[in-house]
Structure 1
Amino acid sequence: MAECAVVFVLDKLTTLLDEKVNLIKDVKKEVEYVRDELERMAAFLRVADDADDSDPELKVWVKQIRDVAYETEDIIDEFILQLYYTNGSCPVGFCGFLDKLIFCVKNLKTHYEVSSEIHNIKSRMTDIAVRHRRYCYKFNVPNQGSCLLSGGSSSHDHRGNALLVEEGDLVGIHYPRGELVTWLVEGDSRLKVVSVVGMGGLGKTTLVKMVFDDAIVKKHFHNHAWITVSETFTVEELLKDTIQQLFDQMKLPIPQDLSSMNVNKLKATIKEFLRQRRYVIVFDDVWSIQAWEAIKYVLPYENQGSRVILTTRIMDVASTCTVETDGYVYKLSPLSDEESWTLFCHRAFQGKSCPTHLDEICKNILRRCGGLPLAIVAISGVLSTKKDTNIDEWKMLNYSLGSELEGNDQLESMRSILLLSFNYLPYYLKPCFMYLSCYPEDHLIEHNTLIRQWIAEGFVRQKEGSTLEEVAQGYLNELVNRSLIRPLKMNDDGSVKESCIHDLYREIILSKSRDQNFVTTTTEQNMTWPKRVRRLSVHGAFEKADIIKYGARLCSFLSFGVKDSQSVLSILQYLKICRMLKVLNLRGVFLERFPEAILELFHLKSLCLRNTWIKKLPGSIKNLQKLEMLDLKGTYITELPVGILKLQNLCHLLVYHQVPGSYMAYNYANGFKALKGIGNLKFLKKLSFIEAYPGSHILKEIAMLTELKRLSISMLRTEDCVVLCSSIDKLIKLSSLSLSTVEGDVLDIQYLSSPPPFLQRLYLTGCLAKFPLWIQSLRSLVKVYFRWSKLSDDPLEYLQDLPNLVHIEYSEAFIGEKLCFKAGKFQKLKLLGLDKLQGLKHVIIEEGATPFLEKLIIQRCNILESVPEGIERLTYLKVVEFFDMPEEFIVSLYPETCGCEYWRIAHIPQVYHTYWRNGCWEVHVLDGNQTNFKFGKPGAAIFRTQEQRNWL
């Protein structure tokens, strides 16, 4: 983390010098000195930053470097801010002369203030440099900065306990054990790799040890070896360990020259030994593809039926190691609630039942364990030493689990194992992961929002050939790949839309954030505020007046669940001193007017006012010259001031609110009237919703926004369509397009000659005279949604050959009697929605069509005679939902009423039929039990499926 702070400030110093800012000569020299000294320290910090927990003296040194980096960054930001305030054009004449003189004096004063502060930084840097050389000598840092985690061996000593667990102490292991044994002893005779992957603490090592020791496995293979790789492995020691085990098992003498063999000789020895043998070798705890590359060549690829098992926390490692041998990947899942409870009671109460008075407390503790066997065993072990009559002790652990992780020796093993995943992150991912400590417990993390915040903070570094958003998406993918965040909702293209972080990992990064002054949250009772707050996350309330003094260097302010008026007033007061703010998220805060204090935030890059009650933006929004993201979704703003056109760095402009109702209305989202001149915002990537209006030139100007990736336009008229198509032809980067006409007008988009080649999502609302044939050329299309299209020809004919189509929705889009999915077509379709197709009588799914369909939604198709013919063949179908369908249709599905259609849906795990009654949804589960669930309330924005609104 210290290295990351240094890298950020190095970038700023380099930019400051490269842009030839008019610095006094001595100031420039001192800035160059600070930059050069920080640069020399960066490589060493890559090692020292991970070792600081185990060396208190070194920890202090790393903290000093981090503080100096932060202070230098603040000085630069303050300097740029002062230049902004003092710079500008001056009037002519005598008054102009006076203004110019005042400007020069102010500018000179700013330079001398910077000079003084930079001089102080240089003096501190000189002292730190002396200690830097001392620590370089102490740690003997190699040129390449190889991993020297002093805590690593300790962690692996703890992790080795997994090899000693008795089978009787395990739960949830029977099924995965059986599947892994089958993969090992059955199948063809080629060498295969079996990867077991999952987050730290899931029990990968324990599971594989049970498989390794299984009697069937022992009997099947001639040779067996268990090699612990770890993140600190050396190739030589790993190969020597392998030779030692293989030779010992066969009771053969160890080669006499083993200790002097080089790597190539060691590899040759192992490979020769394994020839013509059926072997199983476990490589436990593989952290990188490079580690696998170092060992894979010792394995003979002979047809002896040999197997290799590896465990890893990283999905890329698991898949890469298996793909070459056509092997298997087993993704280990957390324990179920029932399995977790069984394991918890076995450890905490020695197999007895949980006392009734502790039931609620224990279940809450267990929820925070998130099905992680390591956590359940460790925490229940601590509780087993407490008297079950002392409820306060049990409550204390529940409320203070974070501090217990740091201070309780019995939980140190668990913390060390989980911490390995953090320590092994590359430096650029550590701040990104720690930033998640801003979010409250169990909060759904929206990836689009998170990416924008990372970019605004400066965590994302430009890569040649990639946009910052693409690089940031890669960062997110890495965290998912490393099992550090858990995907909860996916986009149609397979990317992650929303995720969450395990409670225990959250506790670890909260601890790191406090220790490194990275994020401060207001949820803690009687908390001690750090000397300098850099990021503030408000959870629920913000009432302490004394924290005003901590905001001068704040770079992020995020609020979650702030509702009361006193907290709102405190926030508005606090913002007045947050001059360095880069990220401001006031989502859901009760604001009726745009806070004037925001207009002074010159460095602000990301501003979210989503779901506030604001109705108008001030013209002085133009002051926010660095603003890149403006999120006004869910507000009541319908017009933007001319000043918005001055924001030349704006990339994301989201302004609309949704119309509530049980079903989506024709005009379900009210946008804003776009300004003449919006085409000058050259960096816009997301623009929604803009309302076309008669006589405007907005549709022509859209052609100028060549960076657009998402565009939503409403209130189109038939006469607009020629110009619209001409503009869209020029938007070659567009990936999402939504077009909506004024109700009753025709959406005539046949004129589109060169549709965006990378278009993935297409939403068309309005009458289509005929199907737009250019859609057939969209090879990247994953989702298509037709509303009020009134097509008479079966649109499936035109969509069936699109290779990547995953999601189709029709709402009043087809007036014919029959839809037919032809044999072998729609090979990737996963979700199908049919709504209010009032002429539809039959849906036919021919054999081999839609083989991977997972979810089917049918609603308000009042004359549909039966469930889709062929649905009985869809083995991947998990959910079928019927909304507001006729009673006779539903009756035909129930077995107890001798329903003639039940046999078609009997294999589907979840079947529901739902009605909108008395202002809420009434849900029935089709399992013969007539179970009702009611949710929603009158006036709430409730929609039949969340998928319909995901793209918004």
Structure 2
Amino acid sequence: MMTVAIICGASLAATFWMLCDSVKQVKNQILMSKPQLGDIKSTLDSLQPLIKEMEECEKELDGPGEELENLRVKMEEGVELIQECSKAGSFKKYKYGSKLVELSKSLKRLLGILNVQGIRDVKKALVSVRNIENQVEQIEGKCLIHNNQSEKIAGWCAVPEHPTITVGLDVPLRELKMKLFTDGVSMVILTAPGGCGKTTLATKLCQDAEIKDKFKSNVFFVTVSKKPNLFLIVQELYHRAGAKVPELQSEVTAVSWLQQFLKQTGQNPMLLVLDDVWAGSEFILEKFDEFKMTNYKILVTSRSAFPRFGSPYYLECLNNADAMALFHHVASLGDRSSYISEDLSRKIVERCMGFPLAITVVGRSLCGQPTEIWQKRVMEWSKGSSVLETEHDLCNCLQSSLDDLNEEKPLLGECFIDLGLFPEDKRIPAAVLIDMWAELYGIHEDISSIVNLYELTSRSLANLVVTRKDNKYSDGYYSEHFVTQHDMLRELAIQQMIQKPLQLRKRLMIDICGDNLPMWWKDQKYQYLIARLVSISTDKEFSSIWKNLELPEAEVLILNFQTKYYALPEFVEKMNKLKTLILTSYRTSPTELNNFQLANSIPSLKRIRLERISIPSISRYPIQLKSLKKISLFMCSIGQGFGNGSMDMSEAFPNLVEMNIDYCNDLVELPPKLCDLIQLKKLSVTNSHKLSALPEDIGNLVNLELLRLRCCTDLSELPGSIRNLKKLNLLDISDCFSIKELPEDIGELCSLERLNMRQCSRLNELPRTVVDLEKLKEVTCDEETEVLWEPYLPFLKSIQLKVVKEDINLNWLQKAHC
């Protein structure tokens, strides 16, 4: 029997022969009846004429070299492995199979290294060893390729048959073709949430007469799926084209073969559809996008937008008419419309919210059922049941997106679920999410929360809307950023919240109609809950009469209401861990808040946001919030709420570092007492058009780093004391049309780095002291104000002028659709 000592130090060819002999011995002694080993014997016999050439290669290379030496050592290990297997007396697959797999993997890796390093002199030897590797794989019954990816599917890259029904896709098809045929565009991303019809639209595109006329038979349809395999994709492209399928040992080899395929096939117009590409598969898109050719077009369907590959095409959900048409088809109502009323069908379709998959699965489940079953389904939904609870195929489709997100980025998955805490069909201010996530998840940089929202948008799980797009350069102002979400995705988020029993949930969402509290609350069950996030919504009929509820672990409390008068629930006094309080009125006019002083008892409260609240109503009684760091007022009625004598701001907010006042249209002047908030670092007053003056003592805010006065159109001047703001880093006076001049001593702002003065159209000149702004790096302006800086540019070498144009988007004011 051969030993390691005998084979140690043998040449590559000698080691090869020893491996052949070992396989032959095993075949003759143990498994003579196995046809696989008979095939191996035939293959090894056919390799004999090549051995001499391999020996000559070693001589010409003056030794085997490091790479071939590694290969020789692995073959020695192969000889030893087979000899060990023969000792057992019974050559069973389950005992040696895994070791043979590892041997095969090692040989593949070494062969890949040889290919990458370009060792051309031993090509024939590599081919021989690869044949051995292939035969070793046969011992395992061709099970060595993981995940059964060695199986070839006939017609895998063929275009699917034309869909049986494509309701509502004519306009998207036309727009998609226009985008795809645009000169200079090689790749288009077709994106939407799961179940919106992306694959159906892509199939319809491939079967379109204009597409067929342009690309002929040069259309390839590849389903990539969640775990793409570049090797398999390249092999199947060759298979579909009728060419010889290449053997691939490394990614470098696969890319080389892909490039060759694209160059050859792309000599004529070619369309490649990469269907169902998941987040994290950018490397696949990169490989296909590397080769820029005039006639080469790629369409990618994905739940992710992949923005770095170009502007995506967003497939919207169906309108009412198309949704009804699709439902009539899948529910087979053509001959039975007399049995099912149009009103009943309409109620079911409305609940599907334009989602094609929802309409399809609901329609099929009701097809042929008695009217009573249809009526029961509508009745269940009217009582709060979700479509996702009854239609598991739809739920699984949407759930897969969230599962993928949780696996890759668990924190982002938590952020998605948080979106379900807000009322249906209402836009969610990004500023609210920033305040929530800062305290819940420690995301203290606002920009990080915005990045999370952009990523949820790119994965078709939310939609981030920026109402003003004129400033492409981020300056940390997010009061005009809002999140919308399709109702079906909101239901998915809610489903995640309610999976655990009520007493174990970390999120608690309560909707109250009139004074009808949930049964568990009304019956005083589960009064002690451990939720960290609590959202309570009430309607116009609510009387502000609360029952006791203990929420000792709550860190975020969201209260949504629609009444003219509102009172905080008394149980907030016991919420000792509460850090963020969000109060939002959905009335057209501000709500009067009667007992805001209850917040005094919350020791850990750091952030408060009030939307459409009457400030005078909360300033009737003295408040002192020692822990408060940030207060935000959005569309509030200021009146005399902060006027002289009504509130001592330094006592009310002794440690306040940030104050935001947005869209408070009755704010005429900032109260002088605001200048006593000496801890303040950020002061933002925007879109308050009646604000005409700032306090003369604003220079007392010596720790102020940011002063934003955006779109205060009546503001005519900045006080001279502003020169005392030695820590001021950013000054924003954009859209302050009435400002005619800047303070003469503005040059004393020794820390100023960024200045936004876009649309300050009445400014005629700049004070000469601007040349003293040595740290000024960035000035955002328009074409008119840009001219004012030209005389000073020779003295401000490091300054960068950013000229932007006005572009306001008011689409967010309309009800958000998919």
> TM (normalized to structure 1)?
0.54
Could you tell me which of 433, 443, 450 is aligned with 1:450?
A: 433
CA distance in 2, matches of 1:370, 1:715: 41
Report how many aligned residue pairs link the two structures: 598
Q: Secondary structure at the match of 1:301?
A: coil
CA distance in 1, matches of 2:689, 2:312: 46
Question: 1:240 and 2:232 equivalent?
Answer: yes
Could you tell me which of 250, 253, 257 is aligned with 2:241?
A: 250
Q: For the Cα contact (< 8 Å) 1:173–1:207, is it kept in 2?
A: yes
Q: For the Cα contact (< 8 Å) 1:805–1:826, is it kept in 2?
A: yes
TM superposition shift of 1:614: 3.1
Could you tell me which of 312, 321, 328 is aligned with 1:338?
A: 321
What are the equivalent positions in structure 2 for 1:468-867 lying under 5 Å apart? 468-487=445-464, 490-491=467-468, 497-517=481-501, 529=502, 535-540=508-513, 541-542=516-517, 544=519, 545-562=522-539, 568-571=544-547, 573-574=548-549, 577-588=550-561, 596-611=570-585, 613-615=592-594, 617-618=596-597, 621=600, 623-629=602-608, 631=610, 633-635=612-614, 636-637=616-617, 639=619, 644-647=624-627, 649-654=628-633, 657-658=636-637, 673-676=647-650, 680-686=654-660, 698=673, 700-702=675-677, 704-710=679-685, 721-724=695-698, 726-727=699-700, 731-736=704-709, 749=719, 752=722, 758-759=730-731, 770=740, 772=742, 781=756, 795=762, 828-831=805-808
Q: Secondary structure at the match of 1:232?
A: coil
CA distance in 2, matches of 1:242, 1:624: 63
Query: For residue 442 of structure 2, what is the aligned residue in structure 1?
Result: 461
Could you tell me which of 253, 274, 287 is aligned with 1:265?
A: 253
Query: For residue 392 of structure 1, what is the aligned residue in structure 2?
Result: 375
Q: For the Cα contact (< 8 Å) 2:230–2:254, is it kept in 1?
A: no
Deviation string 1:530-570 (CA, Å, 9 cap, x unpaired) is 5667524233231643244342423333221245567x434
Query: For residue 173 of structure 1, what is the aligned residue in structure 2?
Result: 169
TM superposition shift of 1:603: 0.6
CA distance in 2, matches of 1:386, 1:751: 77
TM superposition shift of 1:360: 2.9
TM superposition shift of 1:310: 0.9
Q: For the Cα contact (< 8 Å) 1:368–1:504, is it kept in 2?
A: no
The structure-2 alpha-carbon separation of the partners of 1:284 and 1:397, relative to structure 1 and needing over 3 Å to count, comes to farther
Query: For residue 377 of structure 1, what is the aligned residue in structure 2?
Result: 360
What are the equivalent positions in structure 2 for 1:404-419 lying under 5 Å apart? 405-407=388-390, 411-419=391-399
Q: For the Cα contact (< 8 Å) 2:582–2:609, is it kept in 1?
A: yes
Question: 1:305 and 2:295 equivalent?
Answer: yes
Residue identity matched to 1:287: W
CA distance in 2, matches of 1:310, 1:336: 24
Question: 1:284 and 2:284 equivalent?
Answer: no
CA distance in 2, matches of 1:428, 1:511: 17
Q: Secondary structure at the match of 2:526?
A: helix
What are the equivalent positions in structure 2 for 1:200-211 lying under 5 Å apart? 200-211=194-205
The structure-2 alpha-carbon separation of the partners of 1:214 and 1:564, relative to structure 1 and needing over 3 Å to count, comes to closer
CA distance in 1, matches of 2:201, 2:232: 25
Aligned-residue RMSD, C-alpha: 4.9
Deviation string 1:214-271 (CA, Å, 9 cap, x unpaired) is 45434544744322222223xxx33323322x3223322223x34xx22221221221
CA distance in 1, matches of 2:629, 2:757: 28
Residue identity matched to 1:511: Q
Deviation string 1:728-750 (CA, Å, 9 cap, x unpaired) is 78633234558799xxx975647
Q: For the Cα contact (< 8 Å) 2:649–2:677, is it kept in 1?
A: no
The structure-2 alpha-carbon separation of the partners of 1:578 and 1:379, relative to structure 1 and needing over 3 Å to count, comes to same
TM superposition shift of 1:609: 4.4
Q: Bigger radius of gyration, 1 or 2?
A: 2
TM superposition shift of 1:423: 1.1
Could you tell me which of 210, 231, 234 is aligned with 2:226?
A: 231
Query: For residue 62 of structure 1, what is the aligned residue in structure 2?
Result: none
TM superposition shift of 1:187: 3.2
CA distance in 2, matches of 1:598, 1:248: 67
Deviation string 1:450-476 (CA, Å, 9 cap, x unpaired) is 3323334x1x334xxxx3433222222
Query: For residue 133 of structure 2, what is the aligned residue in structure 1?
Result: none
TM superposition shift of 1:604: 1.0
Q: For the Cα contact (< 8 Å) 1:287–1:314, is it kept in 2?
A: yes
Q: For the Cα contact (< 8 Å) 1:678–1:698, is it kept in 2?
A: no
The structure-2 alpha-carbon separation of the partners of 1:436 and 1:739, relative to structure 1 and needing over 3 Å to count, comes to closer
CA distance in 1, matches of 2:718, 2:204: 65
CA distance in 2, matches of 1:300, 1:613: 61
Q: For the Cα contact (< 8 Å) 2:641–2:647, is it kept in 1?
A: no
Question: 1:359 and 2:342 equivalent?
Answer: yes
Residue identity matched to 1:473: I
> TM (normalized to structure 2)?
0.62
CA distance in 1, matches of 2:318, 2:326: 9
Q: Secondary structure at the match of 1:557?
A: strand
TM superposition shift of 1:395: 2.6
Residue identity matched to 1:734: L
Deviation string 1:585-633 (CA, Å, 9 cap, x unpaired) is 3343766666554233211112244555434544881552343225375
Q: Secondary structure at the match of 2:167?
A: coil
Structure 1, unmatched stretches of 5+, are 1-152, 323-327, 518-528, 660-666, 786-793, 809-824, 832-853, 856-877, 879-944, 948-952
The structure-2 alpha-carbon separation of the partners of 1:796 and 1:650, relative to structure 1 and needing over 3 Å to count, comes to closer
CA distance in 1, matches of 2:634, 2:497: 34
Q: For the Cα contact (< 8 Å) 1:223–1:249, is it kept in 2?
A: no
Structure 2, unmatched stretches of 5+, are 1-148, 473-477, 586-590, 767-777, 786-801
Q: For the Cα contact (< 8 Å) 2:680–2:701, is it kept in 1?
A: no
Q: Percent identity?
A: 19
Could you tell me which of 180, 184, 191 is aligned with 1:197?
A: 191
TM superposition shift of 1:306: 1.0
- Which of the pair has the greater relative contact order for Cα pairs under 8 Å at 6+ separation? 2
CA distance in 2, matches of 1:946, 1:299: 38
The structure-2 alpha-carbon separation of the partners of 1:204 and 1:795, relative to structure 1 and needing over 3 Å to count, comes to same
